[in-house]
Amino acid sequence: EIVLTQSPTTMAASPGEKVTITCRASSSVSYMHWFQQKSGTSPKPWIYDTSKLASGVPDRFSGSGSGTSYSLTISSMEAEDAATYYCLQRSSYPRTFGGGTKLELK
């Protein structure tokens, strides 16, 4: 099983601040995918195939990485970005998610 480790677990960012969330895989994966979840709602696809933005995702978000190290970056934090973000690998079964990064507005 490929274990995904996200860091940090929680963080707070001020409006306009740059934010980076990392996801490290225990084995190499082809792509990394990201989801955003706000409290009490279903997850939403956010970034897929490492760097492609899902429909409706603002272009202040970006994704990058390869092999075992991936990241999600927000160029300039906005209030609506406060949420929990999860990475996902589907290179092998079982599909695995990272533990999540809770991003709060400072």
Partner 1 sequence: EVQLVESGGGLVQPGRSLKLSCAASGFTFSNYYMAWVRQAPTKGLEWVASITNSGGSTYYRDSVKGRFTISRDNAKSTLYLQMDSLRSEDTATYYCTRRGYSAPFDYWGQGVMVTVSS
Q: Minimum Å distance from CB 4 to partner 1?
A: 10
Torsional sign, CA 19, 14, 46, 44: positive
Beta-carbon contacts of 99 under 8 Å, excluding residues fewer than 6 positions away, are 4, 5, 6, 9, 86
Q: Minimum Å distance from CB 80 to partner 1?
A: 19
Binding site for partner 1 (CB under 8 A): 1, 33, 35, 37, 42-45, 48-49, 52, 54, 86, 88, 90, 93-100
Q: Minimum Å distance from CB 39 to partner 1?
A: 10
